[in-house]
Structures are given as structure tokens and as C-alpha cells.
A and B are shown apart, each in its own frame.
Chain A
Amino acid sequence: MTLLSLRNVTKRFSTPAGDVLAVDDVSLDVARGECVAIVGESGSGKSTIANMILGIYPPSEGEIAFDGATLPARRSLQHRRLVQLVQQNPLSSLNPRRSIAASLRLALDVHDIGARADRPALMASLLAEVGLPASHLARAPAGLSGGERQRVAIARAIACSSPLVVLDEPTSALDVLVQARVLRLLNDLRAKRGLTFVFITHDLAVVRNVADRVAVFEKGRLVELAATEALFAAPAHPYTRRLISAVPVLTQDESDLRDRFMESLNA
């Protein structure tokens, strides 16, 4: 069943140098519970798509529908609750001058979730869900590692039970070890909560790990859309082939090493 659908979405930005076509006539359906990866180089329109889904700005043409209902240009609180965001840089996505509790609480306060007295317990259970102790609530972001901050950002994104989460390169600012753990957390949450992901990334290794389908963007156009395995097995579009061939290939030793490492993580 389709949760999110983009119909002929186009976005133009007017600049002093003339109009720039950031997203060009894109149609895309995302099913409930699915993880669709959006890949492409920088400047391919990935972030513009994300921003339109989040309602930061409306499309110039076309429409974005949620559960079959078209979303208006100015979104109400109910609309905001449908989709949440995990950003790339956990250093800037949490306010350095507010505690973790204050950052988490905002989502609960704005959407009036739970009784006021229950909110501290609710925040503690959200942190537990992303694998952090409740004692972190009183801390400032500066007291947390990059991976921990990203977990807090994830907890904030699931705080108001949004069915759809846009993940804007959620692991690219983290080191490899932390990356693998955060990806596993995201997969677990998706399974447990039945979340739908729009996963923006340029890291094809990450795509292989998490995505059901992949949408490849080039210069604002959707050039290829296929199931992940099929795309890696037989990339149809020349641009996709270039993208895949640009990934450094592991030697047999390296890939064995990686497999052993991933097993040790899962153990």
C-alpha cells in the first residue's frame, strides 16, 4: 500500500543568474514499511526532494500525497507529524545550549503527546529504544559522542510516532564502526515500529545494507528505480553503472575481514 507518493514533482529556484531546475518531473511511490534509498551525486536534487517531502518548501509543480491525500503547501501540525527527519550532522542538529531532555521534549510538547507528568518517563523510554541510558537526558550535546548524538536525533524523529522518516545521510558524519551500529539500530526500529524510510545517501555500501529499492537521481531527474539486488546485479542506466563502478572494490581478504567483523557485531 502506498504511503507517500510524488506525482510529477518539479522544483525551480530563481537565482540572480536565472532559474535553476533542481528537481525535474519526478514521480515516485513509497510503500508503507519500505525503505527507498535516494542516491546521486551532490547537486542531483536529493536534498531538494527531501525538503519537499518534509514540507520545508512546496514543489513548483506537481503534488506530494500522503496516504492518498495531497499535502498542502502550508502544513498543519497534523501534517508535520506525518514525517520526521534525521539529519546528516549530529553536531548541529542538537542545540548546543539545550539539554538532551529539552530537545526531545519539544516533539512531545508540540504534538501534545502523553500527559505532562508522563513525559519524562516517555523520554526515558525513547532513549532506551535507541540504546541510550536515561541519565543522558540531563546532559548537554557536548557531553555526548557523535554516535550518541545521532541516536538522540533518531529518538527525536520517532518521538511523535511519525510513520515516515526521512534520513538525510544519517551515517556519513560518523566513523565506520559507529556507522554499522546506527544502521542496525535503524533497521531494528523500522522492523519494530513498521516505519517507512526515505534514505538519502551517496554511499552505495549503505544502500545495499538497508534499502529495499533504490532511486537514482542525476541532475534532478529520476533516471533509474529498481529493487536493490536487481540494481546492483544489472544496472540499466549508464549513470547508475558509472556510480556503481566508482565504488572501490574489496579484495577477497578485505571482504572476508568485513564479513567476520559484521558477524562479530551481530553476535
Chain B
Amino acid sequence: MKRTLFILLSNPLSLLGVILVALVVLCAIFANVIAPFPSHAGAVVDFVNFNKPPQWPSIMGTDLVGRDIFSRILFAYRISLVLGVVVLSIAVPVGVVIGLAAGYLGGWIEYCLMRLTDVFLSVPPLVLAMSIMGVLEPTLLNGMLAVTAMWWPWYTRVVYNITRSEREEGYVLAAEVIGAGPAHVMFREILPNCVPAIVTKMTLDLGFVILIVSSLSFLGLGVQPPTPDLGSMVAEGARYLPDSWWLTVFPALAILVAVFGFNLVGDALREILGAEQ
């Protein structure tokens, strides 16, 4: 753990990643403290200051109803991160359990579970999410549901492949000969060997979940106004390009910073934890 942290901080690229991620997370947690206009996260109008370019005190300008864009980005981060954590905390356990069961138990269980996974994997993720959101109401809860439904199969794939190779290891045979049950072998013997890969993927995926939620919101299917969301902010501002560029550029940069940061950290983790094995 200490060693991992040290290597993360000693490489300039991964250090940049750690700084960006820390920045995003701190912004999200302390949004109401940092934001100059915390009330602008909701349905506020200020027609005196509408559509202003960056200037003090609105350093990123104001939107079409006069709300401070910087404040709204901070609150959008908060929602995106919460969404990402909720999606992963449902998708990862589901995906991991299915992957372990398919990889270790084998037989018809493996066949059924992996074909089910293939079905989910074969639908383009955005299309699947859009159709789920289309059938259900486009609310935040359904957005989470949709993104979760398309996320777990990737974890199943990763864990399944590791389980298939770990199953041949001597320690699995040793546990079986002793008489340990399948639950012990799956969760106590094999799962610890999947953890590095899972952690790495989760870090990368936090960035991707933010991206996909933004994409859905951009299409009007995600987070609904007046709740701030990076994707819908970009979508609203896109009509006023290039004159009111601040409406689009700053939310887009915010997406970039978050996704880029999580990717850098994820890549670094992959190298560090991968080399360890």
C-alpha cells in the first residue's frame, strides 16, 4: 500500500493524475464551501447578470439565466461522483460474483451466465442506456439504473478470465482436497487474487461513468434541470457557440479534467499492481 502510493507520486504523469483526481474529489465534497454562489445549483434566475463572459466574481461567466457557471460545475462534480460511486458499488459486486461463479463452477452455470453477459456486452452501451431511459422516466434514479445495467458485464469478463486461470493453480486444488466449499474457494482464495485488477478497473471506470452520464445528459436523458450536470450544461451552451463560448468550454474542460485524471491514476495502478503479480 505504501509502496503503491510512493510509485504513484514519483512518476510525473501519475502524480498529475493524483492531483487532478484529488482536485475533483475535493471540489465535489466541499462544493458548498468553495462555490461563490451555492444557491445557483438550484432554480435561481438573475436576469441582471445573464450570459456574462468570465469576470469577477463569476470567473467562468454566467449562464443564460444568470447563474454562476463555476458554482454549477462544482455541484455537477458532486452529482457525477455520487452517481459514479453508486453505479460502481452496485455493478462491481454483481459483476464480480457472476464472474467468480461462472469461472469457478463451470458447466451449464458457466454457459448460462457467460451467454447472458455476452448479450449485455453485444448491445452498444449508450443505446442500451437510452432505451432503458426511454422506456422508464428520465430521472436520476433511472439514469443510475441504466448505467449500472450496462456496466456489470465488464467486471464479469475481467473476473471470469482471472478465475479461469487461477482455478488451475495449486492453492485451489489444495483447498478442495482439504474439503473447503465452493464459497470459500471463490471468495477467500480466488477473489483476493482478482482485487488488483478490480481496483484498477474501478479507478478507470469512475472517469468513464462521469463521461457516459454526461453523454446521457447531453442527449437530455440523464440528470434533469435545474440540477446541474456537465453534459446538459454543454448541450445548452452548444447552441450559442462560438459567441458565448464560456457556456460550453468550461463544463467541457471540467469533464476532461475528471476523466483524464481518473485515467492517469487507473493506468498507473494497472502498471503497479500488474507488476506485483
Contacts and interface: CB of A to CB of B under 8 A. Distances in A.
B171 A95 contact: yes
B170 A92 contact: yes
Contacts, number: 62
Interface string B166-197: 00011101111111100010001100110100
Interface stretch (A16-24, A80-88, A176-184, A198-206): A80-88
Interface string A139-151: 0000000000000
A97 B180 contact: no
B113 to A, nearest CB: 23
Contacts of A153: 174
Contacts of A87: 170, 173-174
Contacts of A55: 177
B193 A97 contact: yes
Contacts of B171: 92-95, 98, 103
Interface in A12-33: none
A231 interface: no
A201 B174 CA distance: 19
Contacts of B170: 87, 89, 92-94
Contacts of B277: 96
B178 A80 contact: yes
Given A92-B169, A103-B171, A98 B180 contact: no
B192 A97 contact: yes
Interface residues of B, number: 18
Nearest to B175: A106
Given A56-B173, A89-B170, A153-B174, A95 B192 contact: yes
Residue among A89, A96, A106 with the highest chain B CB neighbour number at 10 A: A106
Contact of B176 (A56, A94, A95, A103): A56
A80 B179 CA distance: 6
Contacts of B175: 106
Contact of B179 (A56, A94, A95, A110): A110
Contacts of A89: 170
B180 to A, nearest CB: 6
A92 B195 CA distance: 18
Contacts of B192: 95, 97-98
A90 to B, nearest CB: 8
Q: Binding site of B, secondary structure by majority: helix, strand, loop or mixed?
A: helix
Interface in A53-70: 54-56
A160 B173 contact: no
A94 B179 CA distance: 16
Contact of B177 (A85, A92, A94, A95): A85
Given A87-B170, A92-B170, A95-B192, A107 B178 contact: yes
Nearest to A75: B179
Contact of A106 (B173, B178, B193): B178
Contacts of B189: 95, 98
A54 B193 contact: no
A85 B173 contact: yes
Nearest to A160: B178
A265 B171 CA distance: 31
Given A56-B173, A103-B171, A95 B193 contact: yes
Nearest to A98: B192
The 3 closest A-B pairs by CB, nearest first: A93-B170, A80-B179, A92-B170
28 contacts: A55-B177, A56-B177, A75-B179, A77-B179, A80-B178, A80-B179, A81-B179, A84-B177, A84-B178, A85-B173, A87-B170, A93-B170, A94-B170, A94-B171, A94-B174, A95-B169, A95-B193, A97-B195, A98-B189, A98-B192, A103-B171, A103-B174, A106-B178, A107-B178, A110-B179, A110-B184, A153-B174, A160-B178
Interface of B: 169-171, 173-180, 184, 188-189, 192-193, 195, 277
Interface of A: 54-56, 75, 77, 80-81, 83-85, 87, 89, 92-98, 103, 106-107, 110-111, 153, 156, 160
